[in-house]
Amino acid sequence: MSIESSYDRWSAIYDTNRNRTRDLDAQVMRTRFGSSRFHRVLELGCGTGKNTGMLSEVARSVQAFDFSEGMLTQARTRVRSANVVFHRRDLSNIPWPVETASAELATFNLILEHIESPNPLFAEAARCLAPGGVLHVSELHPFRQYEGTQARFEDAEGNEVKVAAFTHHVSEFVEAGQRAGMRLVQLKEWWHKEDAGRPPRLLTLDFVK
Ligand SMILES: C[S@@+](CC[C@H](N)C(=O)[O-])C[C@H]1O[C@@H](n2cnc3c(N)ncnc32)[C@H](O)[C@@H]1O
């Protein structure tokens, strides 16, 4: 099954499934950006809008992209703020409909494991960012991928569905940002409160253009 169709199927239960990675990412996003202020934000792979509402509170405008109509339908229902525009788009299709050097924040949350070659997406995000703008990356930590964890859900019949995923090492993310002409300013690892004794669950990186 394609990644897009998998998310169409997952969309109805994405917000209610037990998912510690999703929950941790939401918490980290609020901590990292909840008190910030931006003019324009790009949310790259917005899913059901889990982070879109928070971003709409701290930005004058948000452009939120995703290729799954199912996920976008959930997001449009959940986030009705007038300053958010949702776009159905495969982000591998470059260039994105975004003016060059126009955004202060671009954020990838839990999407890059589904992208085989992230380099062109980093370059495109860098094109869209204004000088001094931030590219935020938040991904399932590769240490967890090495252990066999990947995006998955249980369908209505109780069958486990794994969504096609690619492993990217920490160095790949760092190099992708640097190749796109950005500077790594922060790298952090995060644990859910139920993760004691386990490898980190989430990796975040912030690059500045
Ligand atoms: C795990 S969900 C994360 C959604 C949201 N960012 C969050 O943190 O809850 C991954 C999302 O990436 C989207 N996605 C994956 N590959 C994509 C692509 N090539 N273009 C656009 N969206 C994509 C999926 O449709 C899905 O909504």
Give the list of residues 6+ apart from residue 75 with CB closer than 8 angstroms, or none: 46, 47, 48, 49, 52, 64, 66, 86
Residues in contact with ligand 1 (CB, 6 Å cut-off): 3, 7, 22, 25, 45-47, 50-51, 65-68, 71, 90-92, 109-111, 114-115, 151
Integer Cα distance of 10 and 85 in angstroms: 22
Question: How much distance in Å is there from the Cα of 110 to the middle of ligand 1?
Answer: 7
d(CA 170, ligand 1 centre) in Å: 20
Rounded Cα distance, 39 and 160, in Å? 41
Long-range contacts of 93-97 (CB under 8 A, 24+ apart): 94/120, 94/121, 94/124, 95/124, 95/127, 96/42, 96/65, 96/124, 96/128
Q: Which atom of ligand 1 is the closest one to the Cα of 26?
A: 8
pLDDT tens profile 136-155: 999 999 999 999 988 889 88
Structural domains in the chain (count): 1
Q: Which of 66, 87, 91, 98 has the most ligand 1 atoms within 8 A of CB, as the residue to mutate?
A: 66
Q: Are residues 154 and 170 in contact, defined by beta-carbon separation less than 8 angstroms?
A: no
**Which tens digits make up the pLDDT trace of 73-97?**
999 999 999 999 999 999 999 999 9
209's tokens:
């253009």
Strand 129-140 to strand 202-208: parallel, antiparallel, or no bridges (unpaired)? antiparallel
Which residues constitute the domain of residue 131? 3-208
Q: What six digits make up the tokens of 6?
A: 């998998």
- pTM given for the model: 0.97
pLDDT for the residue numbered 155: 84
Distance, in Å, from the CA atom of 34 to the CA atom of 17, rounded to the nearest integer, reads 25
Q: How many Å lie between the centroid of ligand 1 and the Cα of residue 71?
A: 8
Give buried/exposed letters for 185-205 (b at 16+ CB in 10 A, else e): eeeeebbbeeeeeeebbbbbb
What is the reported pLDDT for 150? Answer: 87
Q: pLDDT exceeding 90 applies to what percent of the chain? A: 93
- The CATH number that applies at residue 170 is 3.40.50.150
Reduced to 3 states, what is the DSSP secondary structure of residue 82?
Answer: coil
Q: For 43-76, what is each residue's pLDDT tens digit? A: 999 999 999 999 999 999 999 999 999 999 999 9
Question: Ligand 1 test: best mutation among 41, 111, 139, most atoms within 8 Å of CB?
Answer: 111
| Cα atoms found within 13 Å of the Cα of residue 161, Cβ hemisphere only | 20
Scan for tokens 């922060």, then name that residue.
186
How far is ligand 1, taken at its centre, from the CA of residue 21, in Å? 14
Closest CA to 119 of 202, 206, 43, 178: 178
Please report the atom of ligand 1 found closest to the CA of residue 108.
6
